[in-house]
Amino acid sequence: MPETAVSQQQYAPKDYKSSLKPIWCPGCGDFGVLNALYKAMSICGLSPEKTVIVSGIGCSSRLPGFVTTYGFHSVHGRALTIATGIKVSRPDLNVVVVGGDGDGYSIGAGHLPHTARRNPDITYLIMNNNVYGLTKGQVSPTSMVPMASVQANLDPKRWKTTPYGMTEDTINPIAMAIAYDISFVARGFSYRPNQLTEIIVAGLQHKGFALIDAFSPCPTFNQDQTDDFYKERTYDVPEDHDPTDRVKAFELALRTDGYPIGVIYRNDLKHSIMEEQAALKSRFAGQPSGSVSALLHRFV
C-alpha cells in the first residue's frame, strides 16, 4: 500500500458506505466480508479518493457499488489484469480486487501465476462460497464432493449441470497460491468478522500481491458448506507457525483435519514489478523519449 494513498484524515467504517444498499440474499457471507473491508480500510486510513476496487462478475463482484471509493466492475475472470494495469499506471493508488471462487479460480485462474510473477502491490479478496451463485447453483472449482446443483426445495428441472453431484476433484486454492509464490496468502471466514478484518488489514499493508481466500457461505445455492459446516471445521493458524517458511506453509495448507484461518504464507523479500519500473525509469532518465522521431533516431 503506497504511503501517498493513506490519508491523514481518519475515516470511520461508515464513511466508506455508499448510498447503494447490498442486495445479496439474507444470510449471505458476503455481508460479513464487506463489513470487514469497511473496518480494514478505516484502520488503514485509506482515502476513498485514492482507492480503487476492481471486481469481475458474480454475486460478490457487486461489491464495488457498495463502497465510496472508485470502482470498476470488469469482465468475468479479468479483474486481476485490469487491477494490475491500474496499479502500473497509477502506483499512488490503493488497488483492491474482489470476486468469487468461480471468477478467481476458474475463468480467471490463468492470471494468478502471472500476477504472482509481477507481484504488484494489490490485494485480492476472494469470497469463496464453493458454488456459482449468480448463475444459480452450478458447481465451482472449490465445490466439495458430493455437492449437487440440485436442491430438494427447488425445481430440479432448473438444475441440469451436475444432477448426481460433484464428480471432479476440488482444488486447494491456498496450496495453489503458495505454489505460485504469491507473496501473501491468507484465509479468513466471514463469520469471524474481527479476525477477517485483521487479515484484510495485513493484506492491505503488505507490499506486494496479497491473496485472501474468505469462506463466505451461500445459504441459497449451497446447502452443504454452510456457516455451521465451517464453524465446525475451521481453526486458527497455530501460534508457532512461521509463514515465511514455504515448506511449512505447504504442510499447513495440505492438512486434512480442517481449514486453518489466518496468514499462512508470506514472502516479504520478493521483488515487485513496481520496483522494476522504478529502476528502468532511473536507468533511462534524461534520455530522449516520448515521440516517434526520438524513438526512430535511436535506430538510425
Ordered per-residue pLDDT tens for the chain, 300 residues = 665 576 667 999 999 999 999 999 999 999 999 999 999 999 999 999 999 999 999 999 999 999 999 999 999 899 999 999 999 999 999 999 999 999 999 999 999 999 999 999 999 999 999 888 877 778 888 888 665 544 444 545 445 577 766 778 889 999 999 999 999 999 999 999 999 999 999 999 999 999 999 999 998 888 788 889 999 999 999 999 999 999 999 999 999 999 999 999 999 999 887 777 777 777 767 665 566 666 666 666
108 within 8 A of 77, measured Cβ to Cβ: yes
36 SS3 class: helix
Q: Rounded to an integer, what distance in angstroms lies between the CA atom of residue 14 and that of residue 9?
A: 14
Q: Tell me which residue range forms the domain holding 105.
A: 3-297
Q: Rounded to an integer, what distance in angstroms lies between the CA atom of residue 27 and that of residue 100?
A: 17
Q: Rounded to an integer, what distance in angstroms lies between the CA atom of residue 20 and that of residue 65?
A: 7
In the chain, the number of structural domains is: 1
Q: Any idea what the CATH number is for the domain that residue 33 is in? A: 3.40.50.970
Determine the straight-line distance between the first and last CA of the chain, rounded to whole angstroms.
Answer: 42
Secondary structure E strands in 150-200: 184-189
Q: How far is CA 116 from CA 51, 78, 124, 176, 268, in A?
A: 21, 15, 11, 11, 13
- Buried b / exposed e across 209-221, counting CB within 10 Å, b at 16+? bbbbbbbbbbbbb
